[in-house]
Amino acid sequence: MTLQREDKTHHPLCNCQDTCSVEAILSMDERGQVVIPKDVRENAGMKPGEKLAMISLSKEGEICCLVLVRTEHLSGMVKEALSPLAEFLKQE
């Protein structure tokens, strides 16, 4: 399933534009482990040992979404998320 973004702005989590796709439906085993399918790993250029951050999104106090982000993209995301706060604090 592919979702078209109507506003064409960058997504705040991944800095992507235009589309977000459901790449796979995953199942968790009894140990809490999930497997990212080989074709998804290959399409994403993922390598063994690569570090991913799991980010949770909440709605009304309940986690509704989990997103995987490559750790090398985290610093840019944090900077982008905190820059409006930094600007606000400068005005104080």
According to the model, what pLDDT value does residue 56 have?
Answer: 85
Distance of alpha carbon 71 from alpha carbon 21, whole angstroms:
20
- Give 14's contacts (C-beta < 8 A, 6+ positions apart): 67, 69, 73
According to the model, what pLDDT value does residue 18 have?
Answer: 57
According to the model, what pLDDT value does residue 35 have?
Answer: 95
The domain segmentation of the chain, as residue ranges, is: 2-91
Distance of alpha carbon 71 from alpha carbon 66, whole angstroms:
15
Buried b (16+ CB within 10 A) or exposed e, 44-75: eeeeeeeeeeeeeeeeeeeeeeeeebeeeeee
Q: Can you name the CATH fold of 2-91?
A: Pemi-like Protein 1; Chain: D (2.10.260)
Pair 19, 4: CB distance under 8 Å = yes
- Give 29's contacts (C-beta < 8 A, 6+ positions apart): none
What is the pLDDT confidence band of residue 13, given thresholds at 50, 70 and 90?
low
Q: What is the pLDDT of residues 34-86, one digit of tens each?
A: 999 999 999 999 999 999 988 888 888 898 888 888 888 777 766 676 666 66
